[in-house]
Copies of this chain bind each other. A is one copy, B any other.
Amino acid sequence: MAATDKALAGLRQMIASGELGPGAKFPPEPELCDHLGVSRSSLREAVRSLGALGVIESRHGSGTYVSALDPAAIISRFSLSVELIPLEGVLELLEVRRVLEAHATAAAAARQDPELAERLGAILDQLESTTEAAEIQHLDAEFHNAICTAGGNPTVTALTDVIRGRGGHYRIFEPGADFDAIKRTSDRGHREILGAITSRDPAAAATAASAHIAQTEHWLRALRPNPQPALP
């Protein structure tokens, strides 16, 4: 077996077997090299691999640790790869977001929380009064994130955040031909979602969220011939 793969398997095994739980510290690199039978270069490449996946974490001057192994945190790491996916693939991902966010929005509507509705209303007030692309994107993210968080499943929130972040790199809200129409439709969609949440109607909330995101898919599809890639 290749050296780096051997190191990778060894590290994963140490976690999977329960020898090292979340937050635990690995032995120093030289010791691990000896234990796994590989050079330090190979070991470090393996560590980087698992680091990129959010499974382990190296702290300069301190040591190498198992991460919290929290699903939401691990899913967030996906943004590093999702941001590089071409538009064609983003459309597939948006269906995932549509389904998950409809579910989370329904759950948020089911839980009766007046404070949430109030906060969402404040966000929409700001959102409707701005025309700057960056601010629109930020407030839109805040609105949807607050709803998903209220939905109660951090994993769902993390997934929808990652997908929304990817879509945001395509500039729907740049001032252009259809800017006014798109902005108006988007604002109306947000109000419908908030209305369903306020009136505690999960089914209506799911429908409104689904329709709102489907609308986004439609706009992105129109951009297909000429995508605007992400700039990190």
Give residues in A with beta carbon < 8 Å to B. 4, 9, 12-13, 15-18, 21-22, 41, 44-46, 48-55, 69-72, 74-75, 77-78, 80-86, 89-90, 92-93, 95-96, 99-100, 103, 153-156, 159, 229-232
Beta-carbon contact of A17 and B52 below 8 Å: no
Chain B residues with Cβ below 8 Å from A41 are 41, 44
Distance (Å) between the CB of A29 and the closest chain B CB?
13
Contact of A16 among B16, B50, B231 (CB under 8 A): B231
Beta-carbon contact of B83 and A74 below 8 Å: no
Chain B residues with Cβ below 8 Å from A45 are 44-45, 48
Distance (Å) between the CB of A213 and the closest chain B CB?
13
Chain B residues with Cβ below 8 Å from A96 are 100, 153, 155-156, 159
Distance (Å) between the CB of A168 and the closest chain B CB?
14
Taken together as a complex, chains A and B put the C-alpha atoms of A71 and B49 apart, in Å, by 19
Beta-carbon contact of A154 and B100 below 8 Å: no
Beta-carbon contact of A103 and B92 below 8 Å: no
Query: 27 A-B Cβ contacts within 8 A?
Result: A4-B48, A12-B83, A16-B83, A16-B84, A16-B230, A17-B229, A21-B86, A44-B45, A46-B48, A48-B49, A49-B52, A50-B81, A53-B77, A53-B78, A53-B80, A54-B81, A55-B80, A71-B89, A71-B90, A74-B78, A92-B154, A92-B155, A95-B153, A95-B156, A96-B153, A99-B99, A99-B103
Taken together as a complex, chains A and B put the C-alpha atoms of A45 and B47 apart, in Å, by 9
Beta-carbon contact of B74 and A81 below 8 Å: yes
Beta-carbon contact of A155 and B93 below 8 Å: yes
Beta-carbon contact of B69 and A74 below 8 Å: no
Distance (Å) between the CB of A79 and the closest chain B CB?
10
Taken together as a complex, chains A and B put the C-alpha atoms of A86 and B68 apart, in Å, by 10
Distance (Å) between the CB of A9 and the closest chain B CB?
7
